Amino acid sequence: MRTEVSFTAAGVRCAGYLYLPSGPGPVPCVVLCHGFSGTMDRLFDYAERFAAEGLAALVFDYRSFGESDGEPRQVPDIDGQLVDVRAAVAFARAHERVDPGRVLLWGNSLGGAHAITVAADDPRIAAVVAQIPFNGFPKKVEGRSTGDTLRLLGAIVWDAFRGELGLRPYYIPMVGRPGRLAVTATPEADLHIQTLSGGGETLWRNSVAPRGLLRMMRYRPAEAAARLTCPLLVCAAAEDRETPAETSRVLADRAPRGEMRVYPGTHFTFYTDLAFRDRVVADQIDFYRRTSATA
């Protein structure tokens, strides 16, 4: 059963959907956090899979993205997103069908960093899964020239300056071809756009205010991982260029109860290959059951 829900995070309405398994009684709940410019519709399949295994699942959009409120639109406010995640956890704990002592966090890409950061300050979180998690930018991005990097840095600074003045954001594409101004510029840009959009009607937009990348440059989820009291599972892709496995491994190594699974594929294999996702989600459900008594 899927129900449309909403909750307030520091005065901003966040929209979401709560998936509930069949049967009575309070159940564990997985709160799912999407990535940098993502939207919750990319996580519906994950939520359905968790619910089919007897766990409630809450998906939602961060402020200024998708169906949630917040202006200006498409601005990745990292600190605001952390507030949104904490509000989502509070909403889940207050729901009559959810066991408040068995709320679990799950995050994809930047959402993985958020899940770790929020759990580090909330000892009631039962367990965390961080999938292809952000843990700092790679020192060198394959296929991006020095000139491309300088253009992107210029866009980031210009957009941040406009934000300080209260002006409309300077939007750039999230995904573009090599040589184009975009947050991620890859030869497979068209495929990546189709992947993120689902190939049809979607909440996702290939447009983002790059000012959020400034805050990401100072974001240190590894420091939060070292403070985790709950178990952490990091799921990485061996050929990931966006969130390399070696940087993700640091999160698992720093966490007192961390473990890691590395799968063949790229950052986008987690989005596109359903058979691959079967294996990954099965591992994640097994981890939740082993570490937090969700059965």
Enter the pTM of the model. Answer: 0.94
pLDDT, one tens digit per residue, over 152-205 is 999 999 999 999 999 999 999 999 988 899 998 887 777 777 777 766 667 899
**CA–CA separation, 250 and 258 (whole Å):** 10
% the chain with pLDDT above 70: 96
pLDDT, one tens digit per residue, over 26-54 is 999 999 999 999 999 999 999 999 999 99
**CA–CA separation, 118 and 283 (whole Å):** 22
- Residue 289: band (very low, low, confident or very high) from pLDDT cuts 50, 70, 90: very high
pLDDT, one tens digit per residue, over 211-221 is 999 999 999 99
All domains of the chain in start order, with CATH = 2-140+216-292 (3.40.50.1820)
Q: Does residue 73 sit in helix, strand or coil?
A: coil
pLDDT, one tens digit per residue, over 132-151 is 999 998 776 666 788 988 99
% the chain with pLDDT above 90: 78
